[in-house]
Amino acid sequence: MRRRALLLIEGHRANGLLYAQAALRLGLHPITLAVDPTQYDYLAAESIEAIQVDTDNFDALVHVCIRLRSTYDIAGITGFAGRDESLYVTVAKLCRHFDLPGPNPASIERSGDKFTQRQFLAQAGVPVPAYRLAANAMEVERSAAEIGLPMILKPAEGSGSSGVRLCRDPDELAKHTTYLLDGKYPWRSAPKILVEEFAEGPFYEVATMENAVIAVGAADFDRPPHFVVCESMFPAPLTDEEHERIADVSLRCLRALGLGWGPANIELRWTKRGPVVVEVNPRLPGWTTPRLIQLAYGVDIINEHIKLVIGDECDLRARHSHTSAARFLVPDRDGILDCIEGASRAASVPGIVEVRFYIEPQTPIVRKDDDRDLIGHVIAASPSRTWTETILQRAMDLIDWSIIPLTHTGEQVQSGTTCLAAPMQEVSDKR
């Protein structure tokens, strides 16, 4: 009997290995198709099969899949979004082409374009911020005058908060408009800028699967005007009524966008008028969110997603009720990562589940003001929110890193380095 294979289009530095491991547990052979498999360190480290292919070329992917079918029984296909959602559209089209379970390509496409997404949500009566679409500086200025400051300026397509900025005054608006339009931002096509009202209030993220709300978490961000996450917690500290309202709005999003199959991730803020939807991502949430959900609820959403991908039924029932949280390590300056201390001490704190750094000592740090700025995380879990917060802070207090700043000429400053935080090794599942 031929081995059943799960094809993963591209990889993911946070969740790619988790998908491969879950596939193996389900008796599947994971195979990654990627433009450059070497960028995903876990593939070689775990001896995971990988094939180099142009993942932007649909016909090339189809050709590789046909070739693999001569050796394997392809049980399912899924993948990961890059800096935009276009790759996940390709995944959906591959599933349709080979008559495999998967999302509706049209639903993924309309969700990936933030302007189109806003239109569908607004037409369905889902509360969203006021918004306009702009293609040039004049249209940005006119839209900003209609919406008012402070406001958000961001690409209509993209992920990871890339190119997203809070503009609080005309100077910040002009500066970010110039950045987006004068060749510095890497557009895949003609510039499409979303000019958006700033929805002020606590931030929440909702993980859904198959028209069901699995988890509602809270998150906080590093210093404005950018949106680099610094902390995430599940479940969010909400009243029953607040949870019900957020869950209701989230399910309305899925219906409006036609996202009835598979996972989605809805981002909201609780404003003066209640929950307002900031964004709907038609895929599984990234970074530590799947791990936090598993620790808080006992639901492995990666495992259950793969079950859907291969045509099996998923089980989304919560097994327990704990509180999990992650604190991210975010540098506050550019420079060279230098001193690293306290990893083992932090990992030894009871209740700490994982301490992980994404980069090595002596790595240059050049901030991009999006999720690529994150250089590590610490995860804690316990039956109590108060205790989880306490042990997480205790671990963070034991972690130090220092950055050697650079002068304007690019030279290292040899004195006055700043201690901030940090371990370079990874310790996981130690509780």
Q: Are 382 and 323 in contact (CB under 8 A)?
A: yes
CA distance 150 to 147: 9
320-346: b or e for each residue (b if 16 or more CB lie within 10 Å)?
eebbbbbbbbbbeeebbbbebbbbebb
Q: Under DSSP, is residue 153 helix (H, G, I), strand (E, B) or coil? A: strand
Q: Are 128 and 142 in contact (CB under 8 A)?
A: no
Catalytic residues: 283
Residue 369 CB contacts under 8 Å (≥ 6 apart), including other chains:
161, 165, 226, 228
CA distance 193 to 181: 9
Please count the CA atoms within 13 angstroms of the CA of 319 that sit on its side-chain side: 9
CA distance 34 to 53: 6
Residue 386 CB contacts under 8 Å (≥ 6 apart), including other chains:
none
- Nearest 5°: the CA angle 218, 219, 223 is 155
- Nearest 5°: the CA angle 192, 374, 281 is 45
Task: Give the C-alpha distances (Å, rounded to integers) separating 173 from 149, 153, 184, 352.
Answer: 9, 8, 16, 41
Q: Of 284, 425, 291, 290, whose CA–CA distance to 358 is shortest?
A: 425
Residue 224 CB contacts under 8 Å (≥ 6 apart), including other chains:
166, 168
Q: Of 428, 431, 218, 419, whose CA–CA distance to 329 is shortest?
A: 419
Helix ranges (DSSP H) in 277-414: 289-297, 301-309, 343-347, 385-397
Task: Give the C-alpha distances (Å, rounded to integers) separating 380 from 204, 246, 351, 366.
Answer: 19, 25, 6, 28
Structure tokens at 335: 């420079």
Q: What are phi and psi of 15, to 5 degrees?
A: -110, -5
Residue 376 CB contacts under 8 Å (≥ 6 apart), including other chains:
328, 329, 355, 356, 357, 358, 359, 421, 422, 423
